[in-house]
Amino acid sequence: MFLLQLVYCTTCLSSFLLQRLPPLSTESNRCERAFVGNTIGQANGVYDKPLDLRFCDYTNEKSNLKGKSLTAALMSDAKFDGADMSEVVMSKAYAVGASFKGVNFSNAVIDRVNFEKANLQGAVFKNTILSGSTFGDAQLEDAVFEDTIIGYIDLQKLCVNTTISQEGRSELGCR
């Protein structure tokens, strides 16, 4: 009886956690919408249609997202490995478990993005505004933070990540 209740509660918990995001979009061109981005109310994450990029693959030939607005994008479990995301605007985006290995985020605005459990190995945040974003359990080995603009509280949270290299820690000013 107890085992049955435990299994039932685990199933309830899984359902509850999955319900926090809307169902995966059924639009045939949902992954291509990243190349257009959101154009309405970027700073506030207001949009006419959700930008659902979950499980999309932007590696190789699909890698030029330079200057796009990916505001309020749902990006969990998507692959952006090696993409050019320089000058991108990502505000209030959900990128849990996404892969950004070797992504160029130079001159980007990354505001309130959830990168929990994301792979950001070798990502370049050169001259990037990085505010209010979370990196819990993110992989940040060999990430470059040269001239990154980041608030003190955000810096304290980021410096807790043990995967940041010594050079990255020095660039950030971690103590």
Per-residue pLDDT tens digits for 36-69: 877 655 455 555 667 999 999 998 655 789 999 9
pLDDT tens for residues 57-116? 998 655 789 999 998 899 999 999 999 999 999 999 999 999 999 999 999 999 999 999
Give the amino acid at 151. Answer: G
Tally of domains within the chain = 1
The CA distances from residue 123 to 8, 30, 58, 63, 65, in Å, are: 40, 25, 15, 14, 15
CATH number of residue 58's parent domain: 2.160.20.80
Give the pLDDT score at 39. 63
Contacts of residues 70-74 at CB distance under 8 Å and 24 or more positions apart, as own/partner, are: 70/34, 70/37, 70/38, 71/37, 71/38, 71/41, 71/42, 71/43, 71/45, 71/47, 72/38, 72/45, 72/46, 72/47, 73/34, 73/38, 74/21, 74/22, 74/50
Q: Tell me how far apart the alpha carbons of residues 52 and 93 are, in angstroms, rounded to a whole number.
A: 10
Q: Tell me how far apart the alpha carbons of residues 139 and 98 are, in angstroms, rounded to a whole number.
A: 11
Question: Is 58 domain-assigned?
Answer: yes
pLDDT tens for residues 151-172? 999 999 999 999 999 999 998 9
Question: Is 93 domain-assigned?
Answer: yes
Question: Is 150 domain-assigned?
Answer: yes
Residue 20: band (very low, low, confident or very high) from pLDDT cuts 50, 70, 90 = confident
Question: Is 86 domain-assigned?
Answer: yes
| Domain boundaries, position 62 | 31-175
Contacts of residues 151-158 at CB distance under 8 Å and 24 or more positions apart, as own/partner, are: 154/130, 158/130
Share of the chain above pLDDT 70, in %: 81
Residue 4: band (very low, low, confident or very high) from pLDDT cuts 50, 70, 90 = very low
Question: Is 22 domain-assigned?
Answer: no
pTM of the entire structure? 0.82
